[in-house]
Amino acid sequence: MFEEAYFQNDEAAREHIESILWPEGPVCPHCGCTGRITKLQGKTTRPGTYKCNDCRQPFTVTVGTIFHGSHVKLHIWLQAYYLMCASKKGISAHQLHRMLKVTYKTAWFMEHRIRESMHDEIPSILGGDGQTVEVDETYWGNVPGMPKRHAWHHKEKIVSLVERDGSARSFHVERVNHATLKPMLREHIARESRIVTDNANVYDWTGHEFAGHESVNHLVHEYARGDVTTNTVEGFFSILKRGLIGTYHHVGRQHLGRYLHEFDFRYNHRSATDAERTVAAIQGILGKRLLYRDSPLVV
């Protein structure tokens, strides 16, 4: 599985990362300079160090990325990236720590950093003219301290937007209601799109703001009426739930958002090879340093 040189030693791993992040040559992370850069090759200089002749600052390809300050070797990082990108339903931190021979704490932290790099901070708009976007919600685990109640109020709420033959985008929300859904759908779905949902009344307003809204009535066991169906988003949920239940077992509410980024990413790159998916994930490492105290906010 790890026959390539960049999975075996740090120098090859660094060169591989440079080829992904700097396809046209080194870029200074301090000032953005691309031309006046010198590679430092002194005996006491760390491998892969460059100096910007504009701002006079030294740097490596890991500066300002999730690798910044990490004591884990770069080729081990690349192995972890490949395993997470190749595992359709995820890989647990315990499994990663056994396979890579790092501590469980290190494997857990590495996984959260990788999930952060899988998150697209400026995503493209879903749908468009003649396109259909399916919207649905699902529930996971239990909200700490909340007694069990009807209508899943005691569970964590997840809303997913899935464009047919396109991308998925998932959100961990506090409540599934108009106040939460309206700004979310307006921001992430093109107004020319057709929206397809189940018969929940929280989606009734979408027909007035998008090209159209159709629904299926699950209460009477209606799951498809021509091309009116939520089977695409339900299929995405099936992968998500199998991963959460079968691989991760327990996911803290403060981290659930990052797990959603992971499953969204693999779904959105489902047509790519494992190697191509890994490269796409590594391209997202810039500007995403993650400290232990950091945790994603619930929408």
pLDDT tens digits for 114-136?
999 999 888 899 999 999 999 99
Judge whether 297 lies within some domain.
no
Judge whether 56 lies within some domain.
no
For residue 227, pLDDT over 50 is answered with: yes
CA–CA dist 17, 118 (Å, integer): 16
Q: Which residue has the tokens 């700097």?
A: 22
pLDDT digit string (tens) for 104-119?
999 999 999 999 999 9
CA–CA dist 84, 273 (Å, integer): 13
Judge whether 152 lies within some domain.
yes
CATH number of the domain at 194, please. 3.30.420.10
Judge whether 156 lies within some domain.
yes
Tokens of 133: 């976007």
pTM: 0.90
pLDDT range class, residue 296, cuts 50, 70, 90? very low
Q: What is the dihedral of CA 216, 220, 224, 230, to 10 degrees?
A: 50
Judge whether 170 lies within some domain.
yes
Judge whether 91 lies within some domain.
no
pLDDT range class, residue 45, cuts 50, 70, 90? confident
Which amino acid makes up residue 162? V
Per-residue b or e along 186-220, where b marks 16 or more CB atoms closer than 10 Å to that residue's CB: eebbbeebbbbbbeeebbeebeeebbebbbbeeee
For residue 294, pLDDT over 80 is answered with: no
Judge whether 268 lies within some domain.
no
Give the total number of structural domains in the chain: 1
Cβ count within 10 A of residue 21 = 17
Judge whether 82 lies within some domain.
no
Task: State which residues form the domain around 138.
Answer: 132-257
